[in-house]
Amino acid sequence: MVKKQRITTAVATLLTIAYLLPVYWMVATSLKSKSDIFNSPPDLVPSPLSFDAYAETVFGDGAVWQGILSSTIISVPTLILTMLLAIPAAYGLARFSLKLTGAIMLLMLGAQMLPSISLALPLFAIFSEYNLVDTYASLIIANIALALPFAIVILRPYMLNVPQELLDAARIDGCTTFGSFVRIALPLMRPGLIMAATLTFVSAWGEFVFGLTLATSDDMQPITVVLNRFVAQFGTQWGNLMAVSTIVAIPIILIFIFLQKYVVAGLSEGGVKD
């Protein structure tokens, strides 16, 4: 038993290092001077520390902050609207005996297999008809179309796990159907709600294809598209690219640090057989 635990710990440690090494290398590269980046063998620890890349891009390039602002304007409404639509949809698919529930869930799962580019071109054609190309509305709608099926698939098992007896008892005590849903079901679904919200925000924050195809002006493009500008035809500006990537990764890292127990609980408690 002890030997098995040690093996498990060793494997988990190796996997953690494998996942964290790229993050460390990103931060370390952003703190190196342009000449030190290409040292051979590479310097594992940047010495001396150089903040030139941050001064040049993060604090000296207005396009970076405009990209962060655009990503925020896109991600936050995407998160709110996706959850507002996914929660009642998951409730309906879990609580109502519909003949097409299986087909609908299969369609939702199939939607997860579609790459973004397969949706981007049809959406571009549709939005062009309504003069929505190069607007925040088109980017928000596109991200919702991608995130909504995923959120519904995640939330439905949590709704199935809510005992029907509790909802019936709440209605006997005077709650309406909506009241029992808000007062009883939603608190019990909290890990799932937080996990779905977190993954929805992360997906919208890091989305690249829609930003590239639906935002044609620089002011509308999210930060993921702005990052692509550092990959030039005649070379990549590695220091600047890593500096901006570090800043962009900070919100995601903070979200997982503060919400990790809910995300882990959501992953472990979400499965249910129905």
Q: Could you give the C-alpha distances from 193 to 46, 57, 87, 105, 270, in angstroms and in order?
A: 40, 36, 8, 18, 11
**Of 165-169, 184-188, 234-238, the least confident:** 234-238
Q: Does 271 score more than 70 pLDDT?
A: no
Q: Does 124 score more than 90 pLDDT?
A: yes
Confidence of residue 245 (pLDDT cuts 50, 70, 90): very high
Report the alpha-carbon distance of residue 84 to residue 95 in Å, rounded. Answer: 17
Instruction: Output the pTM of the full model.
Output: 0.85
Q: What is the CATH number of the domain that holds 96?
A: 1.10.3720.10
Asked whether residue 234 falls in the same domain as residue 177, the answer is yes
Range of the domain at 149: 62-269
Joined together, the tokens standing for residue 223 give: 């930060």
Closest CA to 253 of 213, 205, 212, 218: 205
- What is the tally of structural domains in the chain? 2
| 56 assigned to some structural domain | no
Asked whether residue 198 falls in the same domain as residue 74, the answer is yes
Contact 30, 53 (CB under 8 A): yes
Angle at 204 between CA 201 and CA 209, to 5 degrees: 165
The torsion region of residue 222 among left (phi > 0), alpha (psi -120 to 50) and beta comes to beta
- DSSP for 89-123, written as a single string: HHHHHHHS--TTHHHHHHHHHHHHTS-HHHHHHHH
pLDDT in tens, 186-232: 888 888 898 899 999 999 999 999 999 999 898 899 999 998 888 87
Asked whether residue 95 falls in the same domain as residue 20, the answer is no
Confidence of residue 234 (pLDDT cuts 50, 70, 90): low
pLDDT in tens, 86-123: 999 998 888 877 777 778 888 888 877 888 888 898 99
Report the alpha-carbon distance of residue 186 to residue 80 in Å, rounded. Answer: 15
